[in-house]
Structure formats: structure tokens, C-alpha cells
């Protein structure tokens, strides 16, 4: 449990902060689209999704289940600073891609039975 909190979750958090500059989704390069799809597959693998943070100003989204609080507690001198959050539009797009991927997988699973 301690190993998970101290070693694995911070790595997962860094992986879930892809270096993608927000651009018009229709004008993204093939490499950027591959990065987005890889991000979606990682989130599916860990059972994560984005949810709106109600009452936040400016509007934002957070990863659910929220493991960032577990990583941040207790505050340690050697704790790494969390990367800056993704842009809201990008998180919305990633959540939409995540939902579509999950629906496709569920259809394929149902068809194979």
C-alpha cells in the first residue's frame, strides 16, 4: 500500500499529464492524435475518467477516482510538485474519447458472446 502511494501513483499522475498543446482537434497531427489515444488507453487501463468539478472557478475537470489527494498527503519535503493541469477543452475531449472507446469495447464484447 505504501509502495503504491509513494512509487506508483506519482508516476501515473505524470503519465496522465501528456505534453499536448491544445489545438483545434481537427487540425491535430497524426502524432498528437496517437498521444491522445494512448492517454485514453492508459485511463481505461486504470479505470479513470474526468469529471467536472462543481463550483470551481474557472470551470475545470478532475480525474476520478481522485488519487491526487492520496499522493499529496502527507506533505513531504521531497514531494514532487504536480504538473500543471490540462486545459479544460482537452480534458473534455479526452473524456469524450474515453467514453467512445469504452462503448466500442462493450459492443465488441457483447458481439463476441
Q: What is the per-residue pLDDT across 79-91, written as a single tens digit (0 to 9) for each?
A: 444 444 567 778 8
pLDDT of residue 79: 46
pLDDT of 38 above 60: yes
Q: What would the DSSP string read from start to end of 58-75?
A: S--EEEES--HHHHHSS-
Provide, rounded to the nearest whole percent, the portion of the chain with pLDDT above 90: 3
Q: Quick check: 113 pLDDT over 80?
A: no
- Mean pLDDT of all residues in 58-69: 76
Q: How many residues belong to the chain?
A: 113
User: pLDDT confidence of 94, banded at 50, 70, 90?
Assistant: confident
Contact partners, residue 45, CB within 8 Å, separation at least 6: none
pLDDT at 84: 45
Span 43-56, average pLDDT:
84
Cα-Cα-Cα-Cα dihedral of 54, 68, 38, 108, to 10°? -70
Amino acid at each position: 500500500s505504501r509502495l503504491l502511494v509513494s512509487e506508483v501513483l506519482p508516476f501515473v499522475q505524470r503519465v496522465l499529464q501528456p505534453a499536448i498543446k491544445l489545438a483545434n482537434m481537427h487540425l491535430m497531427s497524426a502524432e498528437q492524435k496517437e498521444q491522445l489515444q494512448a492517454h485514453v488507453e492508459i485511463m481505461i487501463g486504470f479505470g479513470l475518467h474526468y469529471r467536472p468539478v462543481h463550483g470551481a472557478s474557472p470551470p475545470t475537470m478532475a480525474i476520478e477516482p481522485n488519487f491526487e489527494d492520496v499522493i499529496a498527503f502527507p506533505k513531504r519535503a521531497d514531494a514532487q510538485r504536480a504538473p500543471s493541469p490540462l486545459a479544460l477543452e482537452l480534458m473534455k475531449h479526452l473524456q469524450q474519447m474515453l467514453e467512445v472507446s469504452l462503448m466500442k469495447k462493450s459492443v465488441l464484447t457483447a458481439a463476441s458472446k
